[in-house]
A = this chain, B = another copy of it.
Amino acid sequence: MPAQPGTADAALKLEEFLPYRLNVCANIVSTALSRIYAEHYSIGVPEWRVLVTLGQFGMMTAKAIGIHSHMHKTKVSRAVAMLERRKLVVRRANRDDLREAFLSLTPAGRDIYSDLAPSALEFARQLMETVEPADRAALGRALNKLIEHAAQIASDIAKGGKPG
């Protein structure tokens, strides 16, 4: 018997635990969204992010895409490779630094982007509409703070935890 499952220390309840709730929320939302575009274009989340990032900025390096979209460089590399194979993205050498290359959407890529962006915005709009109007700004602020704080903690631990 678990004694009293949780009396000792203010009771940890999974369903009220913020990190857990954030994960569940992000997963469900992300799944719902990707169901919408995965069927149409047969792309996954990383490809979608690359497409959207290039649609937003027009031309940039893989590294910059990774930073902007919070993706590991291997993820970016593979997503770009597949978009390139599908002729949705082109790579242009940077004559001033041959390690990197400038990436941009092809006309075909832009077509998909301009088809995909409005429905993404619409999805987000509908999602936001379910949140009480008075709570919307608070949600935005809260996410900012949480991201900022957690990133701080994670990097602190990364430094302190593995000395040498």
Instruction: Name A residues whose Cβ lies closer than 8 Å to a Cβ of B.
Output: 1-3, 5-6, 8-15, 17-33, 35-36, 39, 49, 52-59, 68-70, 104-105, 110, 114, 117-118, 120-121, 123-124, 126-128, 130-132, 134-136, 138-139, 141-143, 145-151, 153-154, 157-158, 161
Q: What's the nearest-Cβ distance from chain B to residue A104, in Å?
A: 7
Q: Say yes or no: B18 contacts A128, CB within 8 Å.
A: yes
Q: Say yes or no: B14 contacts A22, CB within 8 Å.
A: no
Q: Which B residues touch A11, using CB under 8 A?
A: 56
Which of B117, B136, B161 meets A6, CB within 8 Å? B117
Contact A35/B151 with A29-B19, A139-B142 known, Cβ cut-off 8 Å: no
Q: Give Cα A27 to B19, complex, Å.
A: 9
Q: Say yes or no: A9 contacts B117, CB within 8 Å.
A: yes
Closest to A114 in B: B8
